[in-house]
Structure 1
Amino acid sequence: MSPRRKSLDSSDSSDSDSDSSHKIWKKEKKDKHGDKHKHKEDKHKDKHGPPQFPSNAPMTSPPPPNYTPNPPSSGYRLPLATTQAFPANAQQLGPPPCTDLDGSPIYIGSALFDNSVHPCKIGPHLQTYAAVAYAGAELLHSGRFDLLPFLPEQMEWVHTSGGRIPQGRRPVEGGYEESGAKLYHAIATIDGLRVPGKTGEHLGAANVSFGGAEHVVRDGYEVLCWR
């Protein structure tokens, strides 16, 4: 008698199918989650880009600012002489700080003597170009003199009296006496006209030349200072 074939139990089949389905679902779920995580990683990579690493390339920086050196205490001057023609380049001379009675330009400068240098007034219409207040007279200078271009952006005229240097200001040096005492550029008003000359603490005033004479003004004049 042939052995009896064991019948398949529906419950066994169902359990087997259920296990298979469960395994397949878990696999599909795992695949879906894997794809989801992979998508997040790809999105994260796209957002931040490739990793960055330090570079040995030199760092670029803006160039340093341009520094303008301070001019010397007496400024930059144009050397001239009474035996030479007066320069015609107005830009080289700078703006004239004063004018004469006839409207001619008056510049400032320093006349060189053997043992001293004195601030003076300079004009192309003057007989020897340079005139100095000296020993009570208006001395027409002969020889070397230096013209100081007036630069409003660097210099200014400051009111003072009695030979005093305005507090906290640095005057433009214009020369020195034989004794070594310093002289500075000054402007005083004579008969309504602004006239350049010299001043110093030892003078106690501004001495200017006008009309053939030396005028001593002790109050209400101006001294040239650096800004």
Structure 2
Amino acid sequence: MPLQFKSVFTKSRTVTAVVVLFVLAFSLHVPMMSMFKIEWSTEPQSNMSFPHLIRQSSNSIVRFNDMLNRTTFPWINFIIMIACVATIKLKLYQSSLVRRPQTSISTSDPKQVNKGLEDQGRSSKDLRVIQSVVLICCIFIVSQLPFLVYSTGRLINPEFDIHKSLTNLFYIFTTISQTFSYLNASVNIFVYYNYNSKYRSIFLSMTNLGSPMKN
């Protein structure tokens, strides 16, 4: 069958991928974190010392962070996600072509009929899961686009930044980017509510909006 997600995304592979991505992300941000150091300052009035964080100026590290962490890798992830969504849509179409001839075959054997109904039920449930994943990915793609636009513009034009000639335009784009990020997190709740019966049941029981729904 064209859709074989369970055999591909196993538990061990998922854990390995998460660990590798975490180590990679942490390693890429180490240079940026090295710009900060902790120093002690003394309060004149109370004569008490307290630690505070100081950022050391390093244009090369900032440039490195802007090029890789804020522009190159986000664009790579953006393109990969679009390719994955397109692949899933293609696989869904291929799967529908495979299942269509099978559903048209009738049989008088009750066992075969029951097996067909069970397979159809599982296929319908898997389809809703895939649809929810595709929808969440599409929402993320749309919400990520403003950030990619302003981060790329900031890299191309140095004046497109804080305290530069295009400061007002920069603030507009950053505000739009933050707004889309908040909308992304907010809209996901409704996607889970619509496609996941267990999530919907727990949500209703926690908010007292209705009795828990059975799966």
Under TM normalisation by the shorter chain, which class is it?
A: under 0.3
Query: Bigger radius of gyration, 1 or 2?
Result: 1
Structure with the largest fraction of helix: 2
- Could you say which structure has the greater relative contact order, defined with CA pairs below 8 angstroms and 6 or more residues apart? 1
TM-score calculated relative to the size of structure 2: 0.19
Q: Which has the higher strand share?
A: 1
